[in-house]
Chains A and B, each alone.
Chain A
Amino acid sequence: MPAFSLRSEEMNGVIAFIRAGFDPEGEAVKIGDPVRGKALFEGEGQCADCHRVRGVGPRTAPDLSNIGAIRTPASLQRNLLDPATALLPINRPVRLVTRFEETIVGRRLNEDTYTVQVIDSGERLRSLKKTDLVSYEISDEPSKQPTTMTSDEVADVIGYLLTLRGLE
């Protein structure tokens, strides 16, 4: 690719456009270092306590092995900073109590008028008929609080997540 002769404010503008996901209405998102991001993901960020990447980690929260291929940087940032607005409705935690006195806590995979499919806290796939339920709660609160990481750390984690593009 040839070198461009842009003034520095023009260069900043181009970079901001790219970081906003090529969307002129978008927000430019800082993208940090993926190596530091991976360490944070697995360590003090506590992401790996719930999420699975490349076959490692619990299956209870969504698998992030290809998250970098399906989400924009802005969407990843929003998920960390303001999960209440970012979390997809289907991923909100659910608690089901069956008429056989079993309590199931988990995350929905599918639902219809008469049945609901979840992965439970024991990582089992469960399909329940709604006529077998005595209660069915869908939490309005997301499964996690806004992150307490610094903005540089968030940028690093985003950098790492963007490298997760499934099997190459």
Chain B
Amino acid sequence: MKLTNQIRTTSAALFLCFAATNAFAQAPYERILNAEEEPQNWLTYNGGYKSQRYSQLDQITPENVTDLKLQWTLQNQVFGAWQSNPIVVDGIMYVTERPNTVMAVDAITGRVFWKYRHVPAENALICCGANNRGVAVLDDKVFMGTLDARLVALDRVTGSALWDVEVGDVDLAYSVTMAPLVVKDKVIVGVGGGEFGIRGYVAAYDAETGEEAWKTYTIPGPGEPNHDSWQGDDWEHGGAPVWITGSFDPELNLTYWGVGNPGPDWNAGQRPGDNLYSDSVIALDADSGELKWYFQFTPNDAYDYDSVQVPVLADIVWRGTPSKVMMWANRNGYFYVLDRVTGKFLEGKPYVKVNWSSGLDDNGRPIPTPQPEGMPTFPGNQGGTNWYPPSFSPRTGLFYFSAWQDYATIYRAEESDYEPGRAFLGGGFSVLAPAPGAPTIGIGRTNPINNWTNEVGFASLKAMDPQTGEEVWSYDQFDVSDSGMLTTGSDILFTGGREGYFHAIDARNGDMLWNVNLGGQIVMAPVTFSVDGVQYVSVISGHALSTFALPH
């Protein structure tokens, strides 16, 4: 259909190139710092430096959410789990597609302005999917980490490459799958490769030039404090990756990062010692990268309990005292509340069945009760929860996340030799099945038929009260969920799951308000934003990014 007044003009419609007046809106650090005060945008991976994934937008309410209408869908062109978290700045959405493509999309129409494709080196190695969890923005730039362990900066308006630097050695199986975190004038990323015997680190790069500003290893070297939590040369290939975006407290000037499993994954006996700082949260000075404090969730881990979760920060009155806390539902099955100023353990309780430990001591250290060989360990390998982001609502005071309930695995340890760039796993595991040889669950879901049933494990969306460390309510699904959370100023909790249902749930009491069958696994959290006074909610299901709004 040709627009009747779309005419071809022969008059010289000369295109005047102004010396850049640059009317285009910038995203300086001040805006990122105050991201939570700009709910019409989604400026960082988790909506703000506290990583609460809470939006003040309240146009969509529990009363009108059933009126939500699909506005547009963007489909990607690549097979595999789409874990990207979109960023929205002034009506433009930036989303990545596997393995390393960035698209700039109009937030109202869903049409694409530009697309930039980085082709990772052929020998890039990842354990668990060619994933990319999204970009970061600062000023007129957008930043993406790559599977071949590089960091790329693009012009936000045109998508052209500005700089492209090495973060890690791809031949040693380093990778970057996380969305970077921009702090002040630097772009910070961690590295993946915990299954390949890397030595993990977090590194910061100058946003203008890509020059490395600091690098802090997650495994201390000789002469550094806590190096003796490793023996011999185990530290050189001890893993401890960082592959999920951290959080930042500007007053304390601390960045917080969840650190992953030690290597080899399932043979703890091969690496005696606590293996610091694997399975820990580390607090690094934002300017120098210096380690200020750490708290380890799982010492000498035999179960792959990566503490690669998002550190959720909140300023609350905790048991009568105004406190700066950090809330953490850990892969190891415990829900923790920590003091984020000092790292002091405040509270920790199991949120699912836990049998690898009989409890936490007064300092939060687990009392190990390893299971006999061939017997199941609860929670299983994928954890009581995993990397997908939780949410904290300052309105309800509750912390929400996806747990895997009644899920266990039987672990098997084997002696492993390190070889550069090769898997360094130390054994394996099998998921506890209800009958011999029955189908079970693992990473991701591609089968529309659930023939394993909820007897292998099921999703329990838990609302936790940080005051008590206990569950207030839960909302269960038949299959497990790898979906993150989003809460809003009208007390809606939006989340998905492996079955492809996108839900709106009442954040106060867990009532299911609305859901829609989008048909593919939802493996990231939804985001919300507004343009021209209309609130939108976007979620990725399978290979489609769908955006909803009320009729307007």
Interfacial residues, chain A to chain B (CB-CB below 8 A): 49-50, 52, 55, 57-61, 63, 65-66, 93, 95, 105-107, 109-110, 112-113, 115, 117, 119, 121-125, 127, 129-130, 133-141, 143, 166-167
Contact A107 B15 (CB under 8 A): yes
B112 at the A interface (CB under 8 A)? yes
Chain A proximity of B228: nearest CB distance (Å): 43
B162: chain A residues at CB < 8 Å are 55
Chain A proximity of B272: nearest CB distance (Å): 45
Pick from A57, A66, A136: contact of B3, CB under 8 Å? A136
B5: chain A residues at CB < 8 Å are 133-136
A63 and B114 CA atoms in complex are apart in Å by 12
Closest to B7 in A: A137
| Extra A-B contacts (5), CB below 8 Å, given A93-B13, A141-B13 | A50-B17, A57-B20, A61-B15, A95-B9, A109-B114
Contact B111 A127 (CB under 8 A): yes
Chain B proximity of A69: nearest CB distance (Å): 12
Pick from A52, A136, A138: contact of B158, CB under 8 Å? A52
Cβ contacts A to B, 12 pairs, < 8 Å = A58-B20, A93-B15, A115-B109, A117-B106, A123-B22, A123-B157, A125-B104, A127-B113, A130-B3, A137-B6, A140-B8, A167-B164
Among A50, A59, A125: residue with most chain B CB under 10 A: A125
A167 and B157 CA atoms in complex are apart in Å by 18
Which B residues between 15 and 49 are near A, CB-CB below 8 angstroms?
15-24
Pick from A61, A122, A127: contact of B109, CB under 8 Å? A127
A135 and B162 CA atoms in complex are apart in Å by 36
Among A107, A109, A112: residue with most chain B CB under 10 A: A109
A63: chain B residues at CB < 8 Å are 155, 158, 160
B20: chain A residues at CB < 8 Å are 57-59, 123
B112: chain A residues at CB < 8 Å are 110, 117
Number of A-B residue pairs at CB separation under 8 A: 125
B544 at the A interface (CB under 8 A)? no
Contact B113 A105 (CB under 8 A): no
Chain A proximity of B354: nearest CB distance (Å): 49
Contact A117 B155 (CB under 8 A): no
A134: chain B residues at CB < 8 Å are 5
Chain A proximity of B102: nearest CB distance (Å): 14
A112 and B18 CA atoms in complex are apart in Å by 28
Pick from A59, A113, A135, A141: contact of B157, CB under 8 Å? A59
B10: chain A residues at CB < 8 Å are 140-141
B11: chain A residues at CB < 8 Å are 141
A95: chain B residues at CB < 8 Å are 9, 13
Chain A proximity of B364: nearest CB distance (Å): 46
Pick from B9, B15, B104: contact of A143, CB under 8 Å? B15
A133 and B2 CA atoms in complex are apart in Å by 13
A138: chain B residues at CB < 8 Å are 6-9
Closest to A118 in B: B113
B: number of interface residues (CB 8 Å): 39
Pick from A49, A58, A113, A124: contact of B23, CB under 8 Å? A124
Interfacial residues, chain B to chain A (CB-CB below 8 A): 1, 3, 5-24, 92, 104, 106, 108-109, 111-114, 155, 157-158, 160-164
Contact A59 B19 (CB under 8 A): no
Known contacts A135-B5, A140-B8; decide if A117 and B17 are in contact (CB<8 Å).
Answer: no
Contact B15 A105 (CB under 8 A): yes
Closest to A136 in B: B6
Contact B106 A127 (CB under 8 A): yes
B155: chain A residues at CB < 8 Å are 55, 59, 63
Pick from B1, B18, B108, B157: contact of A121, CB under 8 Å? B18
A50: chain B residues at CB < 8 Å are 15, 17
A106 and B104 CA atoms in complex are apart in Å by 18
B9: chain A residues at CB < 8 Å are 95, 137-141
Known contacts A117-B112, A127-B108; decide if A139 and B157 are in contact (CB<8 Å).
Answer: no
Known contacts A123-B20, A125-B92; decide if A59 and B7 are in contact (CB<8 Å).
Answer: no
Chain B proximity of A79: nearest CB distance (Å): 15
A61: chain B residues at CB < 8 Å are 15, 17
A143 and B8 CA atoms in complex are apart in Å by 14
Which 7 A-B pairs give the minimum distances between C-beta atoms? Answer: A122-B23, A127-B106, A50-B17, A93-B15, A143-B15, A139-B13, A136-B6
Chain B proximity of A39: nearest CB distance (Å): 19
A52 and B158 CA atoms in complex are apart in Å by 10
A18 and B402 CA atoms in complex are apart in Å by 61
Known contacts A58-B19, A140-B8, A143-B14; decide if A109 and B113 are in contact (CB<8 Å).
Answer: yes
Pick from B14, B16, B114, B161: contact of A141, CB under 8 Å? B14
Pick from B1, B16, B163: contact of A167, CB under 8 Å? B163
Contact A123 B3 (CB under 8 A): no
Chain A proximity of B328: nearest CB distance (Å): 38
B6: chain A residues at CB < 8 Å are 136-138
Closest to A51 in B: B17
Contact A93 B106 (CB under 8 A): no
B15: chain A residues at CB < 8 Å are 50, 60-61, 93, 105-107, 121, 139, 143
A124 and B158 CA atoms in complex are apart in Å by 10
Chain B proximity of A28: nearest CB distance (Å): 31
A57: chain B residues at CB < 8 Å are 20
Contact B161 A65 (CB under 8 A): yes
Pick from B111, B158, B164: contact of A115, CB under 8 Å? B111
Chain B proximity of A148: nearest CB distance (Å): 16
A133: chain B residues at CB < 8 Å are 3, 5
A95 and B5 CA atoms in complex are apart in Å by 12
